Amino acid sequence: MGKKILITGGTGYIGSHTAVELIHQGYEVIIVDDLSNSEQHTIESIGKITGKKPEFHQFDLRDFPSLAALFNENKFDGIIHFAAKKAVGESVANPMLYYDVNLNSMLNLLKLMELYNVSNLVFSSSCTVYGQPSQLPVTEDTPFSLAESPYGHTKQIGEDILHQTTRTNRQLQALSLRYFNPVGAHPSALIGELPVGVPANLVPFITQTAAGLRATLKVYGNDYDTPDGTAIRDYIHVVDLAKAHVRAIERMLNHEQKKSYEYFNIGTGKGSSVLEVIQAFEKINQIKVPYEVVDRRAGDIVKIYADTTRANHELNWKAQLNLDDMMKSAWKWQKTLIT
Ligand SMILES: NC(=O)c1ccc[n+]([C@@H]2O[C@H](COP(=O)([O-])OP(=O)(O)OC[C@H]3O[C@@H](n4cnc5c(N)ncnc54)[C@H](O)[C@@H]3O)[C@@H](O)[C@H]2O)c1
């Protein structure tokens, strides 16, 4: 039997792709998810891709007794903590919900890790911790600036909690992965990102427009200080991102960590503008995406992309897939949602 890894939020977008990569590498995966933003059939899909259906438990991580029972029944070698609420706009409308869910979920995990001597935690952080960066590309040494939203603040606080608790609890090791912009889907198109409402992110908006579910794609501003005037992001294929989690777990299990708390940028290191992404999508999929330029959106970051040197050298991880792979897989997944 391989090492046992608990994945919280494992039926979600990034969690499900990570479950697949871990199972491919021989790990035993146990998933907890309350299905507040995902569906149970994802467990079947993970089973179809890998030939091994992971064990699944449905409950909210804020439910301490249920989580404690799971720790009592299993000796986990590591935990990857994805479960969180993640909609920036919703967090502005309802900050307390975000502090409650995102922070109490993490606190319950940490309490039980201490109680049951579980050492290794990988945390889903985000480039949002950097706010509006003053220098590009962004390195991990860039200080956090005032969070743009309560959601972003929960990621900053989450990282701070890990930093402090690993200093005081000597058996605990933690590693945060600061994701840039995850997009795309598994090449099988059996798992991907589930759309909820009007997408706030570019790629689901593109695929839904291409599918005829939306009349036009809105491009928020084309007068920014960038070569074509549209905002720039570092898009990362979700399968590459999933593989970064496997490397993170391996690093911890192999005692390769240099400090009890570490953090890495996970991106491609390359920025792409909104118009470049649309053009890449249209070209690789041979389909037109009608778009209109509208006003800038309040709070949007103009340009951000990662310096990934630390992840490349220390984590021994590098993104392999390009924008074409991202756009192709995103469209293949979208087509499964409309048929
Ligand atoms: N997708 C992105 O663009 C992005 C970028 C940076 C960071 N992140 C972070 O990565 C993680 C995963 O994101 P995702 O895109 O896969 O989101 P997702 O919503 O698809 O997955 C999160 C999963 O957690 C579950 N969940 C939420 N609250 C829970 C709770 N209290 N108890 C149990 N389960 C709960 C949801 O049902 C969902 O399946 C999140 O922490 C998110 O903040 C995502």
Looking at the structure, do residues 208 and 72 belong to the same domain, yes or no?
A: no
Q: Write down the pLDDT at residue 318.
A: 98
Q: Write down the pLDDT at residue 339.
A: 57
| Dist CA 248 CA 263 (whole Å) | 10
Looking at the structure, do residues 143 and 222 belong to the same domain, yes or no?
A: no
| Dist CA 105 CA 304 (whole Å) | 29
| Dist CA 322 CA 284 (whole Å) | 12
Catalytic: which of 13, 98, 130, 151? 151
Let me know if residue 55 belongs to a domain: yes
Residue nearest to atom 29 of ligand 1 (CA): 83
Residue 7 near residue 19 (C-beta atoms within 8 A): yes
Looking at the structure, do residues 227 and 256 belong to the same domain, yes or no?
A: no
Looking at the structure, do residues 168 and 67 belong to the same domain, yes or no?
A: yes
Q: In which domain, by residue range, is 332 found?
A: 202-232+270-305+327-338
Q: Max CA-CA distance within the chain?
A: 57
Average pLDDT over residues 284-295: 97
Residue nearest to atom 23 of ligand 1 (CA): 9
What pLDDT digit, counting tens, does each position of 316-329 carry?
999 999 999 999 99
What pLDDT digit, counting tens, does each position of 88-104 carry?
889 999 999 999 999 99
| Dist CA 186 CA 174 (whole Å) | 27
Let me know if residue 197 belongs to a domain: no
Looking at the structure, do residues 133 and 227 belong to the same domain, yes or no?
A: no
Closest atom of ligand 1 relative to the 16 alpha carbon: 16
Closest atom of ligand 1 relative to the 127 alpha carbon: 6
Q: To test ligand 1's pocket by mutation, which of 86, 153, 176 has the most ligand atoms within 8 angstroms of CB?
A: 86
**Ligand 1 binding site (Cβ under 6 Å of any ligand atom):** 9, 11-15, 33-38, 60-62, 82-86, 101, 105, 124, 126, 179, 182
Q: Write down the pLDDT at residue 196.
A: 79
Tell me the whole-structure pTM to 2 decimals: 0.98
What pLDDT digit, counting tens, does each position of 125-140 carry?
999 999 888 889 999 9
Q: What's the CATH number where 17 sits? A: 3.40.50.720
Distance of CA 49 from the midpoint of ligand 1 (Å): 21
* The pairing of beta strand 232-233 with beta strand 272-273: antiparallel
| Dist CA 202 CA 214 (whole Å) | 13
Domain total for the chain? 2
Total residue count of the chain as it appears in this document: 339
Neighbours of 52 (CB within 10 A): 15
Amino acid at 53: K
Dihedral in degrees, nearest 10, Cα atoms 131, 275, 227, 140: 30
Let me know if residue 97 belongs to a domain: yes
| Dist CA 3 CA 5 (whole Å) | 6
- Which residues are paired to 28 by β-bridges? 4
| Dist CA 133 CA 143 (whole Å) | 9
What pLDDT digit, counting tens, does each position of 33-51 carry?
999 999 999 999 999 999 9
State both tokens at 286. 């041979």
Annotation says 13 is catalytic: no
Let me know if residue 106 belongs to a domain: yes
Let me know if residue 71 belongs to a domain: yes
Closest atom of ligand 1 relative to the 15 alpha carbon: 16
- In angstroms, how far is the first alpha carbon of the chain from the final one? 38
The HSE-up count of residue 87 (CA atoms within 13 Å, CB side) is: 13
Amino acid at 78: G
Let me know if residue 243 belongs to a domain: yes
Let me know if residue 195 belongs to a domain: no
Looking at the structure, do residues 218 and 107 belong to the same domain, yes or no?
A: no
Q: What's the CATH number where 297 sits? A: 3.90.25.10
Ranking 23-27, 111-115, 163-167, 335-339 by mean pLDDT, the lowest is: 335-339
Q: Is the pLDDT of residue 299 over 80?
A: no
Looking at the structure, do residues 126 and 222 belong to the same domain, yes or no?
A: no
Closest atom of ligand 1 relative to the 104 alpha carbon: 31
Distance of CA 83 from the midpoint of ligand 1 (Å): 5
Ranking 222-226, 279-283, 287-291, 296-300 by mean pLDDT, the lowest is: 296-300
Query: Which residue shows structure tokens 């992404």?
Result: 277
| Dist CA 102 CA 160 (whole Å) | 13
Q: To test ligand 1's pocket by mutation, which of 6, 8, 13 has the most ligand atoms within 8 angstroms of CB?
A: 13
Looking at the structure, do residues 312 and 301 belong to the same domain, yes or no?
A: no
- Which residues are paired to 120 by β-bridges? 173
Residue nearest to atom 39 of ligand 1 (CA): 12
Q: What does the mean pLDDT of the chain come to?
A: 96
Looking at the structure, do residues 147 and 216 belong to the same domain, yes or no?
A: no
Looking at the structure, do residues 259 and 275 belong to the same domain, yes or no?
A: no
Let me know if residue 111 belongs to a domain: yes
Looking at the structure, do residues 39 and 115 belong to the same domain, yes or no?
A: yes
| Dist CA 47 CA 24 (whole Å) | 11
Measured over the CA atoms of residue 34, residue 56, residue 124 and residue 209, the dihedral's sign is: negative
Q: Is the pLDDT of residue 197 over 60?
A: yes
Residue 277 near residue 206 (C-beta atoms within 8 A): yes
Looking at the structure, do residues 133 and 12 belong to the same domain, yes or no?
A: yes
State both tokens at 242. 């999933």
